[in-house]
Amino acid sequence: MPEYYVYIMTNKSRTLYTGVTNDLERRVYEHKHKVVKGFTSKYKITKLVWFDTFPDIEQAIESEKRIKGWLRSKKIALIESCNQNWDDLSQGWYENGDSSLRSE
């Protein structure tokens, strides 16, 4: 059963980026290594601070749009409700040079 993810990433200045994907590990890797030119590479958005999973893409996109419409203070409250220190939730994912957490 596929899973879809809505996630929030940030940088040292705590600039926020909200996205949606069907492969969180790959997408975070792309942000960290600036694979795609755009907002996240320009502002060095490399730290995963929040994510949630959804069973279908429509629910995930709806959640992403809802969060994008929130005030910054509400996004910060969401992050801090489960990640008070703004730790990088992807810390250690790529230590072996592998861009996947899945064990085969």
Which CATH number goes with the domain that contains 77?
3.40.1440.10
pLDDT, tens digit (0-9, with 9 covering 90-100), for 1-57: 789 999 999 999 999 999 999 999 999 999 999 998 999 999 999 999 999 999 999
Q: Which residues contact 70 (CB under 8 A, 6 or more apart)?
A: 78
Q: Report the 10 Å Cβ neighbour count for 36.
A: 11
Is the pLDDT at 58 greater than 80? The verdict is yes
pLDDT confidence of residue 97: 55
pLDDT confidence tier of residue 95, bands split at 50, 70 and 90: confident
Q: Quote the number of domains for the chain.
A: 1
Predicted TM-score (pTM) of the model is 0.89
The residues facing 53 across adjacent strands are 5
> CA 59 to CA 49: how far, in whole Å?
20
In degrees and rounded to multiples of 5, residue 31 shows phi and psi of: -65, -45
Q: Is residue 89 part of a domain?
A: no
SS3 content of the chain, % helix, strand, coil (to 5): 35, 20, 45
Q: What domain range includes position 68?
A: 4-82
